[in-house]
Structure 1
Amino acid sequence: MTAEDAYNFLVNWFKRFPQYKGREFYISGESYAGHYVPQLAELVYDRNKDKATTYINLKGFMVGNPLTDDYYDSKGLAEYAWSHSVVSDEIYERIKKVCDFRISNWSDDCDKAMSTVFSQYHEIDIYNIYAPRCNLPQSSAALAVDQALTANDQEHFRRRIRMFSGYDPCYSSYAERYFNKEDVQRAFHADVSGTRKWQVCSDPILRSYNFSVLSILPIYSKLIKAGLRVWLYRVPVIGSRYCVEALGLPIKTQWQSWYLNKQVAGRFVEYHGMTMVTIRGAGNLVPLNKPEEGLALIDTFLLGKQLPTHR
């Protein structure tokens, strides 16, 4: 359904801006867009076969930290937590014993063991485990957004929550504050009744969402065979490595470092039909955590080049 909506938007966008028809077209997204992007790419590819529809010159797609396959992602999540000392050896051994991640409905024992994993993330950021969490009261973040703090308070605020890289762990508080402003919601033609509060992550929506597609890997195989260029970049790399290895693609070049500003920016491996990249020091949202590396990554992808392998 989401792919159909996005496709209809694209068709109408090209009708409104016909000067862009025929240009090379790429799709990119992160996290749950690991479903949205390949599904949309597949729909564009299939609809392009119909001469009666608007032709979109799709050349490839790129996904970051994507949700890809329920089994491999769940297995990788547990292994990553253990390998980074988020959970103990005992918990990890318990998970391996009681969890069959090939079954979408986990057993009670598995659910209990995995709940232990998720409970460990209450005090750290599951999306960026080595970054600080936003521990300021909501009211303090709101004041900062409204620029109502004194100069001294603002400086103290910045010192408390900013890393040397410029990453601000309270970014979601700013977004939540901003998108709940009445004038902003009115500009977006959103519900301004005040009965529903906009949230960065909505638990009620998550609980009611129907996860009907458990694996995107068949789409990868189909579009790689069709000749589309596919890149996957990842930070917690374990789950994605399982996914990519399951595709059975022959390796073109082995894992090696890529560089930016004479520093190792990450690692990458090239398969025939696909490239997998890591970004050193980033979290789930690479453009937020490592914007310069993210820009270099997408520039290289769009230019059809290889990431720089020398300082």
Structure 2
Amino acid sequence: MEHGPFRPRGNTLFRNKHSWNREANMLYVESPAGVGFSYSRNKSFYDDINDEVTARDNLAFLEGWFMKFPKYRNRELFITGESYAGHYVPQLAQLVINSGKNFNLKGILIGNPLLEFDTDMNAQGDFFWSHGLISDSTHALLTSTCNYSQIMRWVYNISESLSPECYEVYNKSAGEIGGSVDPFDVLGSNVYHRGKEKKKDLFEEVCLTDEVDVYLNRKDVQKSLHAQLVGTPNWTLCYPDSAHFLKDAVIPSIKVVEWLVRSGIRASVYSGDQDSRISLIGTRSLLEGLAKKLKLKTTVPYRNWFEKKQVGGWTQVYGDILSFATIRGGSHTAPISQPARSLALFTAFLEGKPLPDA
């Protein structure tokens, strides 16, 4: 999960053409304990990790960080994150407000976020069908006989069993999709192999070894970062045991987003449009429903936006406090697959401006 940024810009050690720290001072927090280089000296701590513990620990981090660097305390604070951070980010923001800490929190930005399990998971069927990955008949079964929220509850070990009818639909859809499509980036390369018998952990597929993994496991890099490998032999991108996710994954966090907007905190949500796992279809419908519930008027009607002379995606803004945008060609982690477009979106978010229309 990403925390920050703290404006205005500051000097940074790491910069490239599309780094977000070109626009803001960034803090990257590896949480919960067990992710990346983060750890607990008490091994029993890992048995009780959940969303509440994660939010509490992240608030403690912010308190400690501001105490050590008080000159940043009055800077504008934005909290951002992707994927399961659809839980972590809103919950941390809510805790910041309820704690009474004067952290000058201005807004949250979440990408391809898990906001409401059933809506997000069921949207996969519509996404697969609209992209030609499954047949009309299979799509019909996913709306009449069994849906993806049922299937994913079983895949992610939330439910212990799957009905024979559901299992048949699961195998039929898996067979049509094939084993060479990455559900987190349907336009991506062949990095995903679906196994009909092996159930996968929550978001396991996104935890692929890449250049970052190799880089952060170099001994010289770890020494430079003063990293301590406590209870783990190496840096890991994702939490090694997904059990804690499953406790809270089905609890809707869209209600927390609603609470934040009612509290005056700006909320922006984006979707890489090639992610089937938490697709734009479910996210867009959740944001539209929230806007109607809050009686927010549309201030920017649904339209495309541009990064330089290319269409960057589509966007819609409700009032001056809630917005949705797609990132064209973006994967589940859109800044990786579409860095330029993601940076343009991030910049507009910081400035509180609509995405450019030309």
TM-score by length of 1: 0.77
**Of the candidates 125, 130, 142, which is equivalent to residue 187 of structure 2?**
130
1:189 maps to amino acid: Q
2:157 is equivalent to residue 110 of structure 1 = no
Match for residue 308 of structure 1? 356
Equivalent pair of 2:305/2:357 in contact (CA under 8 Å): yes
**Of the candidates 98, 104, 113, which is equivalent to residue 57 of structure 1?**
104
Q: Where in structure 2 are there 5+ consecutive unaligned residues?
A: 1-52, 154-158, 193-205, 274-278
Distance 1:46 1:170 in 2: 33
Equivalent pair of 1:185/1:191 in contact (CA under 8 Å): no
The offset of 1:171, in angstroms, is: 7.5
2:247 maps to amino acid: F
Q: What do residues 69-127 of structure 1 show as CA deviations (whole Å, max 9, x unaligned)?
A: 01110111121111112222222222212336777547423355345545636312211
Match for residue 4 of structure 2? none
The offset of 1:212, in angstroms, is: 2.0
Q: Percent identity?
A: 32
Aligned counterparts, 1:2-151, within 5 A: 2-48=54-100, 54-99=101-146, 105=159, 107-108=162-163, 109-114=165-170, 116-117=172-173, 120=177, 122-134=179-191
**Of the candidates 237, 258, 263, which is equivalent to residue 310 of structure 2?**
263
Q: What do residues 235-292 of structure 1 show as CA deviations (whole Å, max 9, x unaligned)?
A: 2310101211231243222101111212211110011231100111111112111111
Equivalent pair of 2:207/2:238 in contact (CA under 8 Å): no
The offset of 1:17, in angstroms, is: 0.3
The alpha-carbon distance between structure 1 residues 199 and 239, as it changes in their structure 2 partners (threshold 3 A), is: same
Aligned counterparts, 1:201-240, within 5 A: 205-206=241-242, 209-213=245-249, 214-234=251-271, 235=273, 236-240=279-283
Segment drifting more, 24-33 vs 205-214: 205-214
The alpha-carbon distance between structure 1 residues 28 and 94, as it changes in their structure 2 partners (threshold 3 A), is: same
Distance 2:219 2:94 in 1: 38
1:96 maps to amino acid: T
Cα RMSD between the aligned structures? Answer: 2.8
The offset of 1:198, in angstroms, is: 5.7
The offset of 1:170, in angstroms, is: 11
**Of the candidates 218, 223, 228, which is equivalent to residue 189 of structure 1?**
228
The offset of 1:175, in angstroms, is: 3.3
Aligned counterparts, 1:159-178, within 5 A: 172-178=209-215
Q: Where in structure 1 are there 5+ consecutive unaligned residues?
A: 49-53, 136-168
Distance 2:148 2:333 in 1: 25
Equivalent pair of 1:30/1:285 in contact (CA under 8 Å): yes
Match for residue 340 of structure 2? 292
Match for residue 6 of structure 2? none
The alpha-carbon distance between structure 1 residues 308 and 173, as it changes in their structure 2 partners (threshold 3 A), is: closer
Distance 1:102 1:42 in 2: 27
Segment drifting more, 56-65 vs 206-215: 206-215
Match for residue 284 of structure 2? 241
The offset of 1:173, in angstroms, is: 3.0
The alpha-carbon distance between structure 1 residues 199 and 97, as it changes in their structure 2 partners (threshold 3 A), is: farther
**Of the candidates 327, 343, 355, which is equivalent to residue 279 of structure 1?**
327
2:289 maps to amino acid: A
1:23 maps to amino acid: R
1:241 maps to amino acid: R
Q: What do residues 113-146 of structure 1 show as CA deviations (whole Å, max 9, x unaligned)?
A: 34554563631221111122359xxxxxxxxxxx
The alpha-carbon distance between structure 1 residues 114 and 38, as it changes in their structure 2 partners (threshold 3 A), is: farther
The alpha-carbon distance between structure 1 residues 88 and 32, as it changes in their structure 2 partners (threshold 3 A), is: same
Distance 1:275 1:193 in 2: 40
Q: What do residues 49-70 of structure 1 show as CA deviations (whole Å, max 9, x unaligned)?
A: xxxxx42111110101111101
Equivalent pair of 1:134/1:170 in contact (CA under 8 Å): no
Equivalent pair of 2:108/2:268 in contact (CA under 8 Å): yes
Distance 2:244 2:74 in 1: 40
The number of aligned residues is 269
Q: Would you tell me which structure has more helix in proportion to its own residues?
A: 1
Segment drifting more, 277-286 vs 100-109: 100-109
